[in-house]
Amino acid sequence: MKIIVQKYGGTSVGTPERIMAVAERIKTYAGKGYSVVVVLSAMGKTTDQLIELSKQITKTPSKREMDMLISTGEQVSIAMLAMALHEKGIGAISYTGTQIRVKTDGNFSEAKIESIATEKIEKSLKEKKVVIVAGFQGIDEEENITTLGRGGSDTTAVALAAVLNTRNCEIYTDVDGVYTADPRIVPNTKKHKEISYDEMLELSRLGAGVLHSRSVEFAKKYGVKITVRSSFNYEEGTVVMPKEEMVEKYIVSGITAKTDEAKITLRNLQDKPGIAAKLFEKLGEKKIYINLIVQSTGHDGMASISFSVLKKDLAKALELSEKLKEELGGSSVEAKEDIAIVSAVGVGMLSSYGVAGRIFRVLADNGINIEMITTSEIGISCCIDGKFAELATRVIHKEFIEAGA
Ligand code: ADP
Ligand code: ASP
Ligand code: MG
């Protein structure tokens, strides 16, 4: 049995016409002898609309009920696609996450998949049916419905490919592959034929919305080959694969801008051992995710610390920082919401020098001040004023991609 997992995103199933077009594509694969497992997102902007709907009732919904609500979008799309395939004379059956036991931890709105039962899927495939699974959702130990985080259907698809022991996983979206930057923001972007797991993981963590970062983690761990393709044409797309199998090599393979973080600065803290430990231990206890951290060089026994947190955690992080300020001998706590974290990623950086200097130079030449910097083996990120997010992405792209280096 040659199994292929195909995931279709919101825009790809945005209208009944689009669902019929997706059914037609699936029909061609079924005709070629593939056992097709399809994972769907909710139609169009359904998930956003459901979130808006909840806001008409409360600003502080229970996390359990929120997941109960926003998981419903996928139940609509899977039933619609099953009907569309039936119309075309193709056997098909839809399943929710609960029905195929997509077991997750109990972390509502950001749950992690722990296991998926395959019996039902395998039985339906043996009956020559296309199996359609609701993405983005699972159940925890107590059978509460959970969701996997925005964009999480990609992860459902890759996890299914892993448990069904197939390397074939196609992610169909509204762009025909992974580009050197978001093609909606940067002109002259180039499409990758292939990209390594490590680069794709770094890019999606740093804000390239095209793949859910956990899907790339799963793909790397279980050797699933992800192909990102458009459901609107038949272009080849981009294959995400181990770097050893790659032919293309860039110094910088992608530029991203993340605008969902905010910066907190604590000034004039005591410059002695244990201050940073205390602050970040407390933030960690509250499950606040920290991305960038900068500590100024001590002077007169004082130092300042700046760090970035997700905007959704800002109020919590600020309250905690205010509380700790006195204990740590600090003089003030400031927050800045309008920031962007612009990053350049590429495995080629491992064996190149001068990359950081070139990034800082183009930012400087465009009057963009760098407020914080962080690096990884294959990435450099700069925190800048939010209003420069697009400009910074474009000028770094121009320097490394359009200039052909
Ligand atoms: P879907 O609903 O199909 O999951 P998403 O909106 O989650 O689609 O992801 C596709 C979008 O990702 C594209 O429309 C594009 O604007 C954006 N994107 C961001 N960075 C990149 C990139 N480097 N390459 C391709 N697309 C990108
Ligand atoms: N429908 C969900 C969302 O909008 C999951 C997904 O699209 O992957 O985030
Ligand atoms: Mg997506």
Q: How confident is the model at residue 404 (pLDDT cuts 50, 70, 90)?
A: low
Q: Give the C-alpha distances (Å, rounded to integers) separating 288 from 6, 160, 216, 307, 320.
A: 34, 30, 23, 11, 11
Which residues, including other chains, have CB under 8 Å from residue 291's CB and lie 6 or more apart?
261, 307, 308, 309, 341, 374, 381
Which tokens sit at 198?
A: 């490590």
- For the chain, the helix, strand and coil percentages under 3-state DSSP, each to the nearest 5: 40, 30, 35
Count of domains forming the chain: 1
Distance of CA 329 from the midpoint of ligand 1 (Å): 45
CA–CA dist 119, 394 (Å, integer):
48
- Is the Cβ–Cβ distance between 263 and 313 less than 8 Å? no
- Can you tell me the mean pLDDT for 136-153? 98
Taking only the tens place, the pLDDT of each residue in 248-280 is 678 899 999 999 999 999 998 988 899 999 999
CA–CA separation, 156 and 335 (whole Å) = 36
Residue 271 confidence (pLDDT): 87
3 state SS for 226-275: EEEEECCCCCCCEEEECHHHCCCCCCCCEEEEECCEEEEEEEEEECCCCH
Residue 148: closest CA among 74, 227, 46: 74
The structure tokens 């296991």 sit at 115
Residues lining ion ligand 3 (Cβ < 5 A) are: 9, 151
Residue 58 pLDDT exceeds 90? yes
Instruction: Report whether residue 208 contacts ligand 1, using a CB cutoff of 6 Å.
Output: yes
Atom 11 in ligand 1: which residue has the minimum CA distance? 210
In a domain, 33, yes or no: yes
- 11 CB near ligand 1 (under 6 Å): yes
Mean pLDDT of 301-327: 92
What local confidence, expressed as pLDDT, does residue 349 receive?
85
Signed CA dihedral, 234, 240, 241, 247: sign only: positive
| Residue 295, in any domain of the structure | no
Under the banding of pLDDT at 50, 70 and 90, the label for residue 94 is very high
Q: For ligand 2, atom 5, which residue shows the shortest CA distance?
A: 151
Query: Does 155 map to a domain?
Result: yes
CA-to-CA dists, residue 60 to 86, 200, 318, angstroms: 41, 34, 19
Amino acid at 56: Q
For the segment 75-91, the average pLDDT, to the nearest whole number, is: 98
Across residues 227-250, what is the average pLDDT? Answer: 90
- Is the residue at 154 inside a domain? yes
- Tell me if 151 CB under 6 Å of ligand 2: yes
Q: Ligand 2 test: best mutation among 13, 39, 47, 215, most atoms within 8 Å of CB?
A: 47
The CA-CA-CA angle for residues 294, 296, 302, to 5°, reads 130
Whose C-alpha lies nearest to ligand 1, atom 5? 210
- Residue 274, phi then psi, degrees to nearest 5: 100, -15
Average pLDDT over residues 13-40: 97
> How many angstroms separate the CA atoms of 357 and 159, rounded?
39
Taking all residues of the chain, what is their mean pLDDT, rounded to a whole number?
Answer: 95
Q: Which tokens hold the place of 303? A: 């130092």
Q: Which ligand is nearest to the CA of 47?
A: 2
Asked whether residue 92 is assigned to any structural domain, the reply reads yes
Domain limits for position 145: 3-174
What's the confidence (pLDDT) of residue 300?
A: 80
3-state secondary structure of 181: coil
Quick check: is 256 in a domain? no
DSSP for 338-401, written as a single string: -EEEEEEE-GGGGG--SHHHHHHHHHHHTTPPP-EEEEETTEEEEEEEGGGHHHHHHHHHIIII
* 141, part of any domain: yes
Map 71-84 to HEC letters.
Answer: CHHHHHHHHHHHHH
| Beta-carbon contacts of residue 101 (< 8 Å; ≥ 6 apart) | 115, 116, 117, 139
Tokens of 141: 């130990």
Query: What CATH number is given to the structural domain containing 51?
Result: 3.40.1160.10
Percentage of residues of the chain with pLDDT beyond 70: 99
Residue that has been written with the tokens 């074939």 in this structure: 168
Residue 145 lies in a domain: yes
- Going from the Cα of 119 to the center of ligand 1, the distance in angstroms, rounded, reads 33
